[in-house]
Amino acid sequence: MNPYVPILVIGAIGFGFAIISVVAGYLTGPRRYNRAKAEAYECGIEPTPPAAGGGRFPIKYFLTAMLFIIFDIEIVFLYPWAVSFDQLGLFGIVEMFLFILTVFVAYTYVWRRGGLEWD
Amino acid sequence: MNSARDLILDDPGWLIAVKGLLVFVFCVLCTLMAIWFERRIVARMQLRLGPNRVGKFGLLQSLADGVKLALKEDLIPAAADKLVFIIAPIISATTCFMAFAVIPMSGPVKMFGQETAFQLTDIPVGVLYILSVASVGVYGIVLAGWSSGSTYPLLGGLRSSAQVISYEIAMGLSLVAVFLYAGSMSTIDIVDAQDQFWYAIVLFPSFIIYAISMVGETNRAPFDLAEAEGELVGGFHTEYSSLKFALFFLAEYVNIVGVSALATTLFLGGYHAPPGLGFTESWLGGWFTFIWFFIKVVLFFFVFVWLRGTLPRLRYDQFMQFGWKVLIPANVAWIMVVAVLRYFTLNGASRTSILIFGGAILVIFLMGSSLYERSKAKKGEVTASAVDAPAPYPVPELPMKISTFTVPRAERERE
Amino acid sequence: MPTPKIEYGILAPVLVVLAAAVLAVLVEAFVSRRYRYVVQTTLSFAAIALGLFTVILNKDVSGRFAEGSVAVDGVTIVLQGTILIFALLGLLLIAERGFQSFTAQASTLPGSADEQRALASGLQQTEVFPLTLFAVGGALLFPAANDLITLFVALEVLSLPLYLMAGLSQRRRLLSQEAGLKYFLLGAFSSAFFLFGSAFLYGYAGTTTFDGIKLQITTSPGNDLFLLVGLAMLTVGLLFKVSAAPFHSWTPDVYQGAPTPITAFMAAVTKVAAFGAFLRIFYTTIGGMVWTWRPIIIAISILTMAIGTIIAIAQKDVKRVLAYSAIAHSGFLLTGIVAFNKSGVGATLLYLLTYGFTTLGTFAIVTLVRDAGGEVTDLNRWSGLGKRSPLIAGIFTLFLLALAGIPLTSGFVGKFAIFSAAYESGNISVVIAGVLASAVAAFFYIRIVVLMYFNDPQEDGTSVVIPSPVTAITIGVCAVATLVLGVFPQPVINAVNSLAMFVAG
C-alpha cells in the first residue's frame, strides 16, 4: 500500500477529534451572554481599543522570519547532502563547505549589523 | 531490505485504521498521564503532594480537568476573527498527532494475528516529514494569537512563533549529523543504524543541541516565554476557553511526547534495548521493544519536568541570542567536523589519526570558547557601566552611580 | 552514482565576481567605516577586471560545463565580456561620490530624524558595491545558463540586488522607494510566471536541461500543451526582464525613481544579460519550433517598438524619455530574435554592445545636469543647455543621435545589422515596423537636441557641473566607443561574428 495513506489516516483521526472537541465544547458548555466576557482580556482593566490598520508590531519578528527562511533553506540543502554523503566523496565536502561558508558570511554580516539583537 | 519496513508496508487496510487509532489513543493517554506525572513530580520537587484525590494516586485528575473544561462556557471575543479563531486549535491538535505517523515504537510484533510493527508507516523522508508537520503546527499558534483580537495573545503568539522557528533551525541542523551517519532520513533506517552505538554517544554534541532545542521548540520551561504570566498572561491562548483551550493544552503535551519520541528514535536507538540487554527484545513476542521505547520517552519527559521544576525562565533577548548566536554556529561547526571525520573514516584513515584529528578539533574548540568567554567577560564590564546611559523612558534611580560610560560595540555599529 | 564535477576554471568569470561580492559583504561587516569606501571600490574594480581577464582566457572554450547546467561558447564569451565592460563603466558612475546619489542609510524612514542624523554624519553606506557585484555575477551566469534551474537562480541573483539598488536614491527618496517596491513586486510576479513555466516544461520534458528539452522537441511533435503553456510563461518572465510590451510598465517608473548611476547600470547590464538568455533559448533550445514562436515574437516586437516610441513623445522627463527609448530598443532587439539566422546572433550581440555604451553615456550625462536640489530631469529646464555647456550638450547630442540610429554613430551600425539580419530571414513586416519606429523615435531625440540648442537658457539654477574624473572617464569612454563603432566598426563586427557561435547541440 502507498506509505502515505497511513499519514492521511492519522491526520483524519486527529482532525476528527479536534472537530468533535470544538463542537462538543460549544454544545456542552453553558451560554450566558455578558458584554464584558466578549471583551479582550487585559487583566480586568478597560481593554485598549485595537489600533487602526490592524496594529503594528516590531519589525524584529519579520527579520527573524526572514533569517529563518534563509537557514531553513540551508538545512533543506544539507539534508540530501548528508544522506548521500558517502557517495559524494571529497567533492561533496568541498562544495558543501563552500556553501556553508557563503551562508555564514551573510550570518556574520547580520550579526555585526545587530540583526540578531533583541532589545 | 528491512524486514520491519516490509511488514509495515504490507499492512492491510483495516490494520492501518486500527494502528492509527492505537497511536491516537497512545498519544491521548500519554497526555493524560503526562499532566498527572508532571504535577506530581513538580509537587515532590517543591515539597508538596500534588493531585491525589481523583482516582488512585490522583491518576484521573487530568480526565476530571478535561471534563470540567468541557462544561465551561465557550467564549469567542467580540473582536476575534471567528473563523480563524476556531480553526487555529484544530490546526494545532491535528498536526501534533500527525508527527507520530513515522515514529517506530516497536520492532516486529504480532498484532491481531498479523505480522507487523507498531509504526504507522515508513517513508524515505520520515524525519523531514516530522519537521514539516511541526512547522505547520506553528500556524496554529500564530493564527490563534492573531485572531484573538487582543494585545496579549498577539504578542504571545508572535513571541512563540519566533521562538519556535528559531529553535527549529538549531533542531534541524542537529539532525544533519544523524543523517550523515545513517545515510537515510527514514526513521527505521536510523534506528537500525544504531544497533552498535547510540548516536547520543557517537554524536554527543548533536544530541545536546537537539535536547536543548526541543525544549525551546515546545515552548517549555525554562523557555516558556510565550506564556510568561507576569508579562503576557497566558500567551497566545489567553482568549481561549473550554475545549478549544483543552486542544491547545493537548497539542502542547502531545508535542512534548512527540519530540521525546523523535529524540529516542534518532539518538537513543529507538525501540532497541540498551546495549547488553538485546535478549529482552524478543520477550512478550517482541512487544518488550515497545516497553523500551516507552521507558526512553518517559525518561525524556522526566527531564522536561525536572527542568521545569529547577530552572527559572530566561529573558527573551538572552533566549533568542542563545539560539541564534550559540546553537546555530556551534551546530554548523560540528557538522563540518563530523563530515571531515566521516570522510576520513570512509577512506580508511587509521583510528589513531582520527583520534588525533578529533583531539585537535576539541582543543581548538576549547581554546576558542575560553577566548570567547574572556572577551565576553570584558564586554560585560562595558555593558555593566552602560546602564548609566540616559534612557528614553523614566527608569528608577540606581543604588550606585558608575561614572564611566562607553557605548557597547553593537550599538555603535548600528548607528 | 558518479561524482559530479565542476570546471572552476571555465566558470571563473562568474565565480570571481561572486566571490568578490561575498568578500565585499565581509568588508561591510568588519572593515571600519572610514575605510570601507576605498576597500569596496578597490575590491569591486579588481573583481571586474579579473573577471574580464578570465573571460579573455576562456575565449576559445566551447562546451557544456558543471554537469551540463552551464554552456560556455562564443556567444557566452561575447556577452560576458560586454556585461563586464558595462559593469566597469557602471561601477565608475556608482563610485562617484561628488553627487551624493545614494542615501546615507537606506533603512531610515524618508524625512525622519534618523535620516537627518545619517545625512549629517556624512558617511554613506557602501552596501551598493556588494549588491552591484552580486547583480553582475547573476548577469554573467544568465546568458550562460543551460538549465532552467540555473537560469532561474541567475535571474534572481541578478534581479534581487537591483530591486534594492533602485530604492537607494538620496533625493526624492519616496519616489525611489516606490520604484524599488514596484520593481520588486512586478519582478516577483514575473519570476512566478517564469517558475510556473519551468514547471510545465519540466512536466513536458522530464528534465530541466535545455538540451533535454530540445531533444524532446525534436523527437516528439512539438505541440504538447505543457510545452506551449510552459514556453509562453517562460517567455513572459523573460519579456518582463527586457521590458518588452506588454510587460514594460515598470520600466519608466523604475528608471525615473532609481538613482541615475543605478539606472545606467541596470539599463545596460540587464538588457545584455536578458537578451543573452533570450538568444540561447530561442536559437538553440526551441529553435525547432521557430514557426510556432516567430509570429508571436514579431507581434511583441512591433508592439514594443510602437509603444516605446509613441509614448516617449509625450514625456516631459528626460529619464522617462530614456526609459521609453529603452523599451523601443527592446523592440528593435527582438527583431534579432525574429531573424533566427546566423547573422541574427552576431547582429544582436553587436546591437547590445553599441546600445549599452550609448545608454550608459546618456545616463552619465543626466547625472551632471543639476541644481541645488540634485539632478534636474525636467526636460523644459534642459533648454538652452547647448549654450551654457557646449561640450556636454555636444556629447549628449552624439548619444541621442546614436540612440536614434543616425549614420556615423554606433546606433546606425547596430540597427543596420539587426534589420538586415531580419530582412535576410524574410520577415519584412518587422523590418518595416522597425524603420518606421526609428523614424518616429528620431523625432523625440531630435526634439531634445533642438531644445538644448535653439531655446534660450532659463535662469532657474540649472547648471552642468564639472564631472569628477570617474564620471568623466565613463562619459569619455562611452562617447569614443559610440563614435568609433559608428565610423570604423568593421574590426568589432568581424570579431563578434567570428565568436558568435552557439555550442553544437
Banded pLDDT at C21 (limits 50, 70, 90): very high
> In angstroms, what separates the C-alpha of A49 from chain C's closest C-alpha?
27
Domains annotated for chain A, with CATH where assigned, are: 5-112 (1.20.58)
Q: Using the structure block, give the residue that is written with the C-alpha cell 492521511.
A: A8
Which chains have at least 3 CB atom pairs separated by less than 8 Å from chain C?
A: A
Residue A23 backbone dihedrals phi, psi, to 5 degrees? -65, -45
Q: Which of residues 20-79 of A touch B (CB under 8 A)?
A: 21-22, 24-26, 28-32, 37-43, 47-48, 50, 55, 57, 60-61, 64-65, 67-68, 71-72, 75, 78-79
> C463-464 and C369-371: which strand pairing?
antiparallel
Q: Which of A108-112, C249-253, C453-457, C459-463 has the lowest mean pLDDT?
A: C459-463
In this predicted structure, the answer to whether residue A51 has a pLDDT above a threshold of 60 is yes
Question: Higher pLDDT residue, A37 or C320?
Answer: C320
CB burial of B259-294 (b: ≥16 within 10 Å; e: otherwise) equals bbbbbbbbbbbbbbbeeeeeeebeeeebbbbbebbb
**Other CB atoms within 10 Å distance of the CB of residue B320:** 23
Tens-digit pLDDT string for chain B (415 aa): 457 788 888 888 888 899 999 999 999 999 999 999 999 999 999 999 888 888 888 888 888 988 898 888 888 888 888 899 999 999 999 999 999 999 998 888 888 878 888 888 888 888 999 989 988 988 888 898 888 878 788 888 888 888 888 888 999 999 999 999 998 999 999 998 888 888 888 888 899 999 999 998 888 878 887 776 666 667 788 888 888 999 998 999 999 999 999 999 999 988 888 887 878 888 787 888 899 999 999 999 999 999 988 988 888 888 888 888 889 999 998 999 889 888 888 887 777 777 787 788 778 877 887 887 777 776 655 554 445 555 666 666 665 555 555 545 554 444 4
> Could you tell me which of B175, B171, B163, B267 has the C-alpha nearest to residue B221?
B163
Residue A51 backbone dihedrals phi, psi, to 5 degrees? -70, 150
Cβ contacts of B247 on chain A, cutoff 8 Å: 18, 21-22
Q: Give CA A9 to chain center in angstroms.
A: 24
- Nearest CB to B90; choose among A22, A42, A67: A22
Is the separation of the CB atoms in B323 and A117 below 8 Å?
no
Largest CA distance in chain C: 75
C33-67 pLDDT, tens digit each: 888 899 999 999 999 999 999 999 998 888 899 88
Cβ contacts of A87 on chain C, cutoff 8 Å: 1, 3
Cβ contacts of A66 on chain B, cutoff 8 Å: none
Chain A contact probe: residue of C1, C7, C22, C153 with most A CBs at under 10 A: C22
Q: How far is CA C409 from CA B165, C402, C405, C474, C480, in A?
A: 59, 5, 7, 18, 10
In a 13 Å sphere around the CA of B247, the CA atoms on its Cβ side amount to 34
Query: In degrees to the nearest 10, what's the CA dihedral of C441, C442, C444, C446?
Result: 170
Check C26 against A105: CB less than 8 A apart.
yes
Cβ contacts of C106 on chain A, cutoff 8 Å: none
Q: Coil, helix or strand for C85? A: helix
pLDDT of residue B406: 52
Q: What kind and span of H or E run contains C370?
A: strand C369-371
Q: Using the structure block, give the residue that is written with the C-alpha cell 525636467.
A: C378
Banded pLDDT at A33 (limits 50, 70, 90): confident
Q: Coil, helix or strand for C371? A: strand
- Nearest CB to B242; choose among A29, A50, A90: A29
Chain C contact probe: residue of A99, A105, A108 with most C CBs at under 10 A: A105
C282-302 pLDDT, tens digit each: 998 888 888 889 999 999 999
Q: Coil, helix or strand for C220? A: coil
**Other CB atoms within 10 Å distance of the CB of residue C455:** 15
Say if A100 is an interface residue toward chain C (CB within 8 Å): no
Strand partners, C374: C371
Residue of B nearest to A100 (CA): B332
In this predicted structure, the answer to whether residue C248 has a pLDDT above a threshold of 50 is yes
**Other CB atoms within 10 Å distance of the CB of residue B153:** 31
> Could you tell me which of C441, C354, C352 has the C-alpha nearest to residue C404?
C441
ipTM over 0.85: yes
Q: Got the DSSP string for B371-389?
A: HHHHHHHHHHHHHHHHTTS
> In angstroms, what separates the C-alpha of A106 from chain B's closest C-alpha?
12
Query: In degrees to the nearest 10, what's the CA dihedral of B71, B77, B81, B86?
Result: -10
Check B339 against A93: CB less than 8 A apart.
yes
Is the separation of the CB atoms in B331 and B209 below 8 Å?
yes
C72-105 pLDDT, tens digit each: 999 999 999 999 999 999 999 999 887 778 888 8
Q: At what angle do helices C173-205 and C250-257 cross, to 10 degrees?
A: 140
Check A10 against B97: CB less than 8 A apart.
yes
pLDDT of residue B385: 47
Contacting residues for B410 by C-beta, under 8 A, at least 6 apart = A114, A117
Check B98 against A14: CB less than 8 A apart.
yes
